[in-house]
């Protein structure tokens, strides 16, 4: 499947649901999200989308008129309705709303990919291989001022946290006390990932060190939804902000301590 098949819009009142679906689709679509049908309709008036996934029920009320309005505003888009209540009435509402398919929550990645492949006639084998790569977490290390920067690509989730934890623990054991995570290529962070970040920050604080995150825009919603967990972590929206801090704290050219090797994952 092509890296970008166009733009996708996820419409759901539940933030976690929106982030989960965006995480699944982000490698293939330019994803946007809306938490209300009103904000979605406003966005759809001036923007074209290739794929739309929308909850059927808002405030516990199904709306056939809302679904028809989506189709009217985006006649060329593929539109999938999502529901946790797949009753005959819900299915009927989706059909009357001219939806291209129905997704039943909780929505698994395989189910979503199967539906997208069917709608866009993309080969199953290619998408399966690409989605397997996306589930991995790629890590490289570099120096920036007084910090070791951990460049990440993929998702910081339960199944990948052990890899990141081992990397950070290895740096700390080598005497590194200033560590920054570059999240520019991170698609999603779940609760396990946020808890790891909180723990790593706490560990470094007790060692008089510092733990930073930068290039956080793609996962900003996940971070702001868990501010209590993240309150002790230094956050920088972009690389320029972080570089300014790193340069101010740089006390001279630093090299990797003896025995530290840049991993190749």
Instruction: Express each pLDDT in 57-106 by its tens digit.
Output: 887 666 788 999 999 999 989 999 998 887 778 888 888 888 888 888 88
Kindly report, residue by residue over 23-67, the tens digit of the pLDDT.
888 888 889 999 998 999 999 998 999 999 999 888 766 678 899
Domains of the chain (ranges, CATH numbers):
7-133 (3.40.50.2300), 137-249 (3.30.750.24)
Quote the CA–CA distance of 200 and 242 in Å, as a whole number.
Answer: 18
């Amino acid at each position: 499947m092509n890296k970008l098949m166009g733009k996708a819009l996820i419409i759901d009142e539940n933030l976690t649901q929106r982030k989960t679906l965006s995480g699944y689709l982000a490698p293939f679509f330019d994803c946007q999200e809306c938490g209300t049908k009103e904000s979605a309709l406003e966005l759809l008036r001036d923007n074209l989308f290739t794929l739309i996934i929308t909850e059927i029920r808002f405030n516990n009320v199904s709306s056939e008129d809302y679904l028809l309005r989506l189709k009217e505003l985006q006649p060329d888009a593929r539109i999938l309705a999502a529901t946790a209540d797949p009753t005959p009435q819900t299915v009927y509402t989706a059909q009357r709303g001219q939806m291209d398919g129905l997704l039943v929550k909780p929505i698994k990645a395989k189910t979503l990919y199967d539906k997208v492949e069917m709608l866009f006639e993309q080969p199953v084998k290619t998408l399966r291989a690409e989605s397997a790569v996306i589930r991995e977490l790629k890590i490289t290390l570099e120096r920036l001022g007084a910090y070791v920067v951990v460049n990440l690509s993929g998702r910081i989730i339960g199944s990948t946290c052990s890899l990141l934890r081992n990397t950070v623990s290895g740096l700390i054991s080598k005497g590194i006390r200033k560590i920054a995570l570059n999240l520019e290529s991170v698609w999603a962070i779940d609760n396990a990932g946020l808890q790891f970040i909180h723990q790593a920050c706490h560990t470094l604080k007790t060692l008089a060190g510092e733990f930073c995150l930068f290039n956080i825009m793609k996962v900003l919603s996940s971070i702001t939804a868990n501010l209590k967990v993240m309150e002790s972590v230094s956050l920088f929206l972009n690389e320029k902000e972080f570089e300014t801090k790193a340069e101010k704290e740089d006390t001279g050219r630093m090299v990797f301590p003896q025995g530290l090797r840049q991993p190749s994952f």
